[in-house]
Amino acid sequence: MTSLGNVEATPLASLTFISFKTGDILYLTGNARNLYGAEAQAVMPLQDRLTEIFITGYTFVTNALPAHQDSAFDIQPSPYSPPVKLLAEEDTQSTIF
């Protein structure tokens, strides 16, 4: 899923989540749809557009990566990662990790 236009053309999505610490990988597939304006803001305030994904399948593979992160290594978030934004139903006073 690389753009809103791709979701409009073909509403299919796949996501991959990798744990570099354990070597596990979670693959998700689903149906996606774009939300605009008030519909998007009802889910996530201050967002004019976003994409919802309804999960239809998954595969979880344990120990899939041949190399793992050293447990002594201190994980630091990338300075280039965008800030976390909360959903409308989440408490805005919560601590984000």
d(CA 14, CA 33): 13
Nearest to 88 by CA among 54, 47, 51: 47
**Contact by Cβ (8 Å): 21, 68:** yes
DSSP H/E element including 58: strand 49-61
Report pLDDT for 1. 45
Q: What mean pLDDT is predicted for residues 44-62?
A: 94
- Sequence-distant (≥ 6) Cβ neighbours of residue 62 within 8 angstroms: 22, 23, 24
Task: Give yes or no for residue 92 having a pLDDT over 80.
Answer: no
Task: Give yes or no for residue 22 having a pLDDT over 60.
Answer: yes
Residue 4 confidence class, pLDDT cut points 50, 70, 90: confident
